[in-house]
A = this chain, B = another copy of it.
Amino acid sequence: MTTFNTPNPDFAARIRESFSRQPFMEHIGAEISLLEPGAVDIAVSREVSLTQQHGFFHGGVVGTLADNASAYAAFTLAPASASVLTVEFKVSFLSPADGDGLLARGRVIKPGRNLVVCQSDVFGLRGDEEKLVATGLVTIMVLQGRDDAPAPAKIQSA
């Protein structure tokens, strides 16, 4: 894997703090399981609430993890004064998203001052085995000088 340098020595604390302010991650039970410069893994355990009609993980959960793992992978390389947002993502589903859990590995392919391109591979977990169930490409924008803080009150209270 490529090794990246980050301008933010506190990237790990920063990302855990940002992640903790994403209520949707708590809603689906997602947790960060790896956090390095240019690389973030996010995992969920299997809960019926995350499934579709065939008992597999819902494609929306797969896409959510692919998007978020890549976004935070990009965020590891951003200056402390910047925040990030997803411009677009594409995910291809390769196998039914089955297993005791799902793990998305977001990796920076191409860092950049304004745009970062990442790849996320999503695996179904069963015991010690991993099976690739989806892969995606994610484009992330770096917002220089924009804090990753809550939005203004009018939006919060919406």
Contacts and interface: CB of A to CB of B under 8 A. Distances in A.
Interface of A: 18, 21-28, 46, 48-56, 58-61, 63-65, 67-68, 71, 85-96, 98-100, 109-110, 114-115, 117, 119, 126, 132, 135-137, 139, 141, 148-151, 155-156, 158
User: Copy number of this protein in the oligomer?
Assistant: 4
Most buried by B among A24, A110, A156: A24
A126 B155 CA distance: 11
A interface majority secondary structure = mixed
Given A24-B60, A64-B64, A87-B92, 13 more contacts: A25-B58, A54-B148, A54-B151, A54-B155, A59-B67, A88-B92, A88-B117, A88-B139, A90-B91, A94-B117, A114-B141, A136-B137, A137-B137
A61 B61 CA distance: 9
B88 A155 contact: no
A94 B110 contact: yes
Contacts of A52: 21-24
A1 to B, nearest CB: 14
A114 B141 CA distance: 10
B58 A64 contact: yes
A88 to B, nearest CB: 4
16 contacts: A23-B49, A27-B49, A54-B151, A55-B151, A55-B155, A60-B63, A85-B93, A87-B115, A88-B117, A90-B137, A92-B109, A94-B117, A96-B151, A114-B114, A114-B141, A115-B141
